[in-house]
Amino acid sequence: MQCAGGGETVRIVGEVAATVFQRVGCRSDEVASLIHELNAVVQPCTDRHEDVSVRFRASGDSCEVVVRVDDRELWRASRRVSS
């Protein structure tokens, strides 16, 4: 997902991430931790009004989220999910 910096970006990204990770089977404590980490990365970008790209990918027994600004990867996290 592509997000324009500022406004409600952090809230929206957090809600989408929570939904994705819950749907693929991450435990609630893992979801909360991921959202906390994700917000810590996205918030400074939105404060600078940078456009943020957040990509979610589920494959086999894991789910990954990657945050990028322009051509820079800022953060990547992967979690195993329940079958």
- Read off the pLDDT of residues 9-21 as tens digits, 9 standing for 90 and up: 899 999 999 999 9
Per-residue confidence (pLDDT) for residue 83, from 0 to 100 = 59
35-60 confidence digits (pLDDT tens): 999 999 999 999 998 999 999 998 88
Question: Burial letters for 66-80: b for 16+ Cβ neighbours within 10 Å, e otherwise?
Answer: ebbbeeeebeebebe
Question: What is the pTM assigned to this prediction?
Answer: 0.88
Count of structural domains within the chain: 1
Show the domain range for 56: 2-80
User: Cβ distance 34 to 77 under 8 Å?
Assistant: yes
59-72 confidence digits (pLDDT tens): 888 899 999 999 99
